[in-house]
Amino acid sequence: MKPAHPVVRFLVVFLWVTALITFVGSILGAAVWPLAGLVFGSRHEPLTLALTGVRTLGFYFFIWAPGTGIVIATIKEWRRRHPENGV
């Protein structure tokens, strides 16, 4: 099997990390927002709070996800090219 081109490998890692971080933020938002609503006595429905949490934390995590994806993809590619220095 022919190895993937370095740019393709970089993009796959970048997109995977970005999607994973955004997904984790959405799941955390769906869990945390209704709990915060309970603690602070919100009058909104739990489903409304969960959807707000998905949008809000998903967005905040998405702000940081591409930068983190670039850093992780760069580190992985550098380590692949320089195995003698690997940690």
Mean pLDDT within 73-85: 88
Predicted confidence at residue 6, as pLDDT, reads: 85
Q: Which residues contact 14 (CB under 8 A, 6 or more apart)?
A: 66, 69, 70, 72, 73
Kindly indicate the confidence band of residue 70, based on its pLDDT and cuts at 50, 70 and 90.
very high
Predicted confidence at residue 85, as pLDDT, reads: 72
Cα distances (Å, whole numbers) of residue 62 to 33, 41, 53, 71:
17, 28, 13, 15
**Domain residue spans of the chain:** 6-80
d(CA 73, CA 8): 11
Where do we find the tokens 């602070």? 40
The pTM (predicted TM-score) of the whole model is: 0.84
User: pLDDT tens-digit profile of 6-48?
Assistant: 889 999 999 999 999 999 999 999 999 999 998 888 899 989 9
